[in-house]
Amino acid sequence: MKLIIRDAKIIDSQSPFHNKTVDILIVDGLIEKIGTSLPNSEAVEELKFDNLHVSQGWFDSSVSLGEPGFEDRETISNGLSTAAKSGFTAIALQPNSYPIIDNQSQVNFVLNKASGFATQLYPIGALTKESAGKDMAELYDMKKAGAIAFGDYNKSLDNANLLKIALQYVQDFDGLTIAFSQDENIKGNGVANEGIVSTRLGLKGNPNLAEELQIARNLFLLEYTGGKLHIPTVSTKKSVQLIKDAKSNGLNISCSVAVHHLVLTDEKLEGFDTRFKVSPPLRTDSDRKALLKGIKDGTIDMITSDHNPIDIEHKKMEFDGAKNGTIGLESAFGALMTVLPLELVIDKLTSGKARFGIEIQTINEGSKANITLFNPKSKSIFTKANILSKSKNSAFLGTEIQGKVHGILNQGQLILA
């Protein structure tokens, strides 16, 4: 494949062409030449869009797809196609399928299913067998098969000793442990952030304390064991401060935040719309602003869509009984552009690769073409027509977004939205 991308502004702080508007010649999946007004004597295909910007390919550190077992929610094939058209050249797949991805054969299964797609899939192996929180899964075997980290999706490990052993064990092969942090006893039957809104609506509350206590415990364990830990989808002001303090004390800790926690608050629950039922729950505007501050000061390392397709039978029901989760790949960039500056959005959509051990390709001559193409200025309303996922449970339906993703170039393939 030969392709010239015309008049593209490069947003890549690691590239010598950062913030420059140039032409990019791609030959057989490699960036062969970058410059202005590149000649096209061989009638090579050209790609040009208004206000075109390009960056390193984006990475999402938390994506659920369903397959195997829940293909009615999403398949790996359609999920990777959706990710590509949403700007992501790589995703980390959560293990919450059926069966759970807790052994080498399950890792091999999803990798084989994902072979040949432009968007690369990196499996997260379950930390415990069947994500049941009782016995440690086959971590080393999964690592050898291709798992990039280990964690039980949206399940907090009550057994502190098991997490301690896991943190110690994975150091032998430089493994990354993921610890979703929520004290289930304090959460109880809570379905919404405990506060003014939940009280007014009569919904059982899930307090900030449930998250913060568990984060504090997990940080103490990390301090004791060494190794490295990732805390996904933090949602409270105090959580950000705890992680900031841990980093200043030299702990090898990283964390992510979900797009919806940066943009939406628990005020959205006024209509009892289950599209806004997520885990952790949407918090207050004070928490939201603290999360944005944590992004800006570097405490929060990466942003995830926390894409979680749920079938209509488990979403269109009374609030207490509905499953947690929102899809988020399609709306991630556009929603983030309404609350953060462009360069910071790109940084937080790409910086997770280093933490998860994924090869980084800067936009430079001689590099592999791993590129996302987008226009950061275009404004629109996010509608069902924008949803490419099989499930339609988006918390951003009807929301104004900024920016348009044109697609990706990766693995020698050009995928356009």
144 shares a domain with 7: no
Residues 6 or more apart whose CB falls under 8 angstroms from that of 233 comprise 62, 180, 256, 257, 258, 261, 280, 304, 306
Does residue 279 share a domain with residue 237?
A: yes
- Dump pLDDT digits (tens) for 148-197: 999 999 999 999 999 999 999 999 999 999 999 999 999 999 999 999 99
Residues 243, 271 share a domain: yes
Average pLDDT, whole number, for the chain? 97
Number of domains in the chain: 2
> Does the residue 383 lie in any domain?
no
Q: Are 256 and 301 in contact (CB under 8 A)?
A: yes
Q: Which residues lie across from 58 on neighbouring strands?
A: 88
Residue 387 lies in a domain: no
Residue 386 inside a domain? The answer is no
How confident is the model over 334-344, as pLDDT tens digits? 999 999 999 99
Q: Which residues are catalytic?
A: 306
Report d(CA 91, CA 162) in Å as an integer.
Answer: 27
Q: Are both 113 and 157 inside the same structural domain?
A: yes
User: Could you tell me if residue 191 is inside a domain?
Assistant: yes
The answer on 232 and 155 residing in a single domain is: yes
Across 397-411, average pLDDT: 97
Same domain, 229 and 300: yes
Strand stretches in 251-392, DSSP E: 253-258, 302-304, 371-381
User: Do 136 and 166 meet the contact criterion of CB atoms below 8 Å apart?
Assistant: yes
Whether residues 110 and 168 share a domain: the answer is yes
pLDDT of res. 379:
95
Q: In whole angstroms, what is the distance from residue 32 CA to residue 2 CA?
A: 10
Coil, helix or strand at residue 54? strand
Q: Confirm if 206 and 192 have CB atoms less than 8 A apart.
A: yes
Question: Within a domain: residue 156?
Answer: yes
Same domain, yes or no, for 11 and 134? no
Stated pTM of the model? 0.96
What count of other Cβ atoms lies within 10 Å of the Cβ of residue 286? 12
Confidence bin at 386 (pLDDT 50/70/90): very high
Over residues 195-204, the pLDDT tens digits come to 999 999 999 9
Q: What is the CATH number of the domain that holds 48?
A: 2.30.40.10
CB 113 within 8 A of CB 123: no
| Alpha-carbon span 192 to 207, nearest angstrom | 8
Structural domain including 278 reads 57-355
pLDDT surpasses 90 at 41: no
Residues 232 and 130 grouped into a single domain: yes
pLDDT at position 88 is: 98
Strands 229-231 and 253-258: parallel
CATH number at residue 318: 3.20.20.140
CA distances from residue 80 to 30, 37, 108, 161, 360 in whole angstroms, order as listed: 22, 34, 17, 36, 19
- In tens, the pLDDT along 315-352 reads 999 999 999 999 999 999 999 999 999 999 999 999 99
Task: Report residue 371's pLDDT band, with 50, 70 and 90 as the boundaries.
Answer: very high
Spatial distance between the Cα atoms of 26 and 32, rounded to a whole number of angstroms: 6
Asked whether residue 392 is assigned to any structural domain, the reply reads no
Give residue-wise pLDDT tens across range 230-252: 999 999 999 999 999 999 999 99
Nearest to 303 by CA among 268, 329, 266, 274: 329
| Residues 76 and 148 both lie in one domain | yes
Distances (CA, A) of 239 to 33, 182, 216, 247: 45, 11, 8, 12
Residues 38 and 73 in one domain: no
User: Helix, strand, or coil here: 299?
Assistant: coil
Task: Please indicate, yes or no, if residue 257 is contained in any of the structural domains.
Answer: yes
Asked if 52 and 8 count as a contact pair (C-beta separation under 8 A), the reply is yes
**pLDDT value at residue 173:** 97
Mean of pLDDT values over 262-282: 97
Looking at the fold, whether 286 and 169 belong to one and the same domain comes out as: yes
DSSP state of 394: B
Pure H helices in 207-284: 208-225, 237-248, 259-263
> Considering the domain boundaries, does residue 388 fall inside one?
no
| Across 216-239, average pLDDT | 98
Tell me, rounded to whole angstroms, the distance of Cα 307 from its chain centroid.
7
